[in-house]
Structure 1
Amino acid sequence: MMKRIAIAAAATMLLAQAHATTVRIHYAAGQDTIQVRADKGAAGWSQGVPAKPEGGPLNVWTFTWPDTLGDIQMKPTLGADKVSIGGVYKLAAGSTVDIYPFFGPPFGKVTIVKDFASPQLDNKRALRIYLPPSYGENAAKRYPVLYMHDGQNLFDAKTASYGVEWGIDETVNRLVATGVMDEVIVVGIDNTPERIPEYTPCCDPKYGGGKLNAYDAFIVETVKPYVDRTYRTLPGKDTTAIMGSSLGGIASVLIAQRHPGIFSKAGGVSSSFWWNNGALLAKVPDRVPVKFYLDAGTRDDGLDDTTKMRDAMLAKGYRETDDLMFYKAEGGRHNEASWAARVDKPLTWFFPWGSTRQ
């Protein structure tokens, strides 16, 4: 009899779990508590309800709603009043979702790794690594990674080639704080005096080139493994992207085409598709499972060639807004100021708020 009762109780518990919408909040709250605000149930938007600590060393707090309430929108608070930074979290009815919030200032930090060696290219350069706002606050959280070329130009006007930076850190901070983009780590890979050959396949009649294979291997075999073992990354292909501008744009597109098992997203901003008399337009590889972002400005920025690349990729089976985004920047020029003004478009397409799971 007792055995039957225990089995029945276990079955009832499993059924209850199956018919609950659950959030698991990963956060070391210290002496504080985690509360939940939501659009349905006992938790409202104006006043939170305490979540339940699971106990143990993982610092996980849980809260559940009957799945009969349907989909839930919620935000955690630290204590009664400190609401998490960013957007609302959306939970499908009956789902269990793990979230990794933060409550401090929405400002990431850029660190510099000097003299990072490339055995493939036999040279050294700096890596400029943007760590997102929650990195130092929520040690349970891991992050997608965006690899970018021309690292000198991304974060600091003093090191930028023409005194104008992309402002990647400020843009990501803003997009995260306003809840339209997930947090990411950005790895800026500095260029070298060999920028043209490193970013290009062989061989343009005027500029030569031809070291892209070695640069590709440098990123895949040296930079990415270093980043994954040094920082709290999500190393899988679904959470790894690559992006650059001009020659860095064609480098990003070609590297992602070669490595669809490593990169799931690639951005070509004002890409130099004119390279080698348009050879890249004439031989577009078959479709691979990668989301490609392409853009160009309307003022001397290679818009015709970028449009041809868009059309060639559509002919290979890519679908616009699904795995191909094309943007024509009215008035955009071939410079950092124009790229800074529109970089929010690939960032929010690649990493929309709530899209990252770990």
Structure 2
Amino acid sequence: TPPPTPVYIEHPGRMEVGSYYSHILGREMVYRIYLPPGYDVESHTYPVLYLLHGHPFDEQHWDRLGVDETAEAGIRSGAYPPFLVVMPNGDPSPEGLYVSTSGGDHSVEGLIVNELIPHIDRTYRTWARREGRAIGGISRGGVWSLEIGFRHPELFAAVGAHSAALSVNYPHPLYDPYTLATDPAAASLRIWLDAGDVDWARAGVERLHQVLEEHGVAHEYVIGEGDHTNAYWSRMLPAYLAFYAAGWPRASR
């Protein structure tokens, strides 16, 4: 393992809180963002990983799992190239968009695609192309990441779904990951699916795996040891980040 470069030692990564105005909701929406080591002194652009929380959690979910510490360690060791991690609030109240909608402009899809991504690209030094974006999520957030990623392969190169709550998801066919997975456009994405071996979400994830298999869509499929819990997702973080980071070059852009 190579030693950390001086710039990484002198300028470590950090977590920040930001917000953007949502015209969909008519209010400010909060997000957390991890800025990698060296961000403040480098001049190049960075890939962006959008990570969606589970329900009933919020934008702090991934932070509490340790995503910034895992990313920082991987970047410093040379295992991952530097990248940004954006963790938005998905409006998770019982009547909010996170659970009361399943897709389209007036939903979490609209928040991410039409409002958050343009804000992030304006505000930070992002690699603002599909090759520089990935999206993933946990549980309900995993359903959203699949819906958004499958419907917008022009925006994302990779999509990950971690214990996606597909077995309790009843969307319109336009927004159904099982249906969207059969679209030829899905084959342009790098796809990761996982669940714990005793996770109630496992059956729904296995079904999506089978749909992708039947349509010849390449994807990663992992059944880990664990349940539908923060302990499982925290333990899987290095594998998750390795998957997303594998799509990005190490050279500056």
The TM tier, using the shorter chain, reads 0.7 to 0.9
SS state of the match for residue 104, structure 1?
helix
Cα deviation for residue 281 of structure 1 reads 6.6
1:193 to 1:351, Cα distance in 2 relative to 1, 3 A: closer
From 102, 108, 112, the equivalent of 2:7 is: 102
Give TM-score, length-normalised by structure 2: 0.85
Name the counterpart of 1:142.
45
From 120, 124, 130, the equivalent of 2:34 is: 130
Once the two structures are superposed, residues 201-250 of structure 1 have per-residue CA deviations (whole angstroms, 9 ceiling, x without a partner) of xxxxxxxx325322212111111111111111101001101111001001
Number of aligned residue pairs: 238
1:294 to 1:250, Cα distance in 2 relative to 1, 3 A: same
Q: Is the 8 A contact 1:299 1:333 kept in 2?
A: yes
Bigger-Rg structure (1/2): 1
| CA distance in structure 2 between the aligned counterparts of 1:338 and 1:196, rounded to whole angstroms | 28
Once the two structures are superposed, residues 71-123 of structure 1 have per-residue CA deviations (whole angstroms, 9 ceiling, x without a partner) of xxxx8xxxxxxx653xxxxxxxxxxxxxxx93425731111114x32112334
Letter in 2 for 1:143: Y
Cα deviation for residue 352 of structure 1 reads 3.0
Q: Is the 8 A contact 1:179 1:353 kept in 2?
A: no
Cα deviation for residue 335 of structure 1 reads 1.9
Q: Is the 8 A contact 1:301 1:333 kept in 2?
A: yes
1:231 to 1:326, Cα distance in 2 relative to 1, 3 A: same
| CA distance in structure 2 between the aligned counterparts of 1:142 and 1:281, rounded to whole angstroms | 31
C-alpha RMSD of the superposition = 2.4
SS state of the match for residue 7, structure 2?
coil
- The answer on 1:256 being equivalent to 2:149 is yes
Once the two structures are superposed, residues 33-81 of structure 1 have per-residue CA deviations (whole angstroms, 9 ceiling, x without a partner) of xxxxxxxxxxxxxxxxxxxxxxxxxxxxxxxxxxxxxxxxxx8xxxxxx
SS state of the match for residue 112, structure 1?
strand
- The answer on 1:327 being equivalent to 2:222 is yes
Relative contact order, higher structure (CA 8 A, sep 6+)? 2
Q: Which has the higher strand share?
A: 1
Runs (5+) with no aligned partner, structure 2? 54-58
| CA distance in structure 1 between the aligned counterparts of 2:204 and 2:45, rounded to whole angstroms | 38
* Pairs within 5 Å for 1:108-119: 108-114=13-19, 116-119=20-23
Runs (5+) with no aligned partner, structure 1? 1-74, 76-82, 86-100, 156-164, 201-208
| CA distance in structure 1 between the aligned counterparts of 2:198 and 2:11, rounded to whole angstroms | 35
| CA distance in structure 2 between the aligned counterparts of 1:229 and 1:112, rounded to whole angstroms | 16
Cα deviation for residue 342 of structure 1 reads 0.3
Name the counterpart of 1:88.
none
Name the counterpart of 2:167.
274
Q: Which has the higher helix share?
A: 2
